[in-house]
Amino acid sequence: MLQKFYPGEYLDSAYDVPYEELYEQGYRGLIFDIDNTLVPHGAPADERAARLFSRLKKTGFACCLLSNNKEPRVKPFNDVVQVHFICDAHKPATANYRKAMELLGTGRDTTVFIGDQIFTDIYGANRAGIRTILVKPIHPREEIQIVLKRYLEKIVLFFYKKERGYENRNGK
C-alpha cells in the first residue's frame, strides 16, 4: 500500500544527483520542486541553483520548475535560473506534471522529477508515471502543514528503506 509513495531513488540533495548519468541513460527532461529541494523554504534562487541550471542546460536537459506556490514566489526564482515554470501546480494532481512534460518536449520515459516531499512531489510524479528522486529537505524551517506531513513521511521512509535494504547498504 505504501509503495505508491515510494521514490525511485532517495538522495541527500538535488545537488548530488548524477545528472550526467541520467542524460547518458536517455533522460532529457528534469522537473524540480523549489522549496527545500533547491533552496530553503522561501529563499531566493542562489548562486548554487544558478550554477546547477547552467550545468543542466549545457548538458542538454530541458528543465521545468513545478511548484504549488503562487507566481510571486516562483517567477522571481525563475528569473535567475531561466527555465520553464508552472506555479500553483496543485501537486499531487497529475495535470501539471503532464503539462511540464509538454513544455519540455519529453515523455514519461525521458523525464525525471526531483523533490523533497513524499505526499505531494513524489506521489504526484509516481501517479504521472515519471521517474522520481526524493531528496532530503535542505532546511528544517517549514510551514506548519509541511511539518505535520513530515511525521507521516518518516513512516513511509522507514518501510521504504527497510524494503530497499538501506540499513544493510549504508547504515542510514
- The pTM for the full model equals 0.89
Residues contacting residue 131 through CB under 8 Å, at least 6 positions apart:
8, 27, 111, 112, 113, 125
Q: Domain 2-165 has what CATH class?
A: alpha beta
Q: What is the rounded average pLDDT of the residues 120-134? A: 97
Q: Tell me, what's the pLDDT at 86?
A: 98
Taking the CA of residue 111 as centre, how many other CA atoms within 13 Å lie in the half-sphere pointing to its CB?
A: 24
Structure confidence at residue 170 as a pLDDT band (50, 70, 90): very low
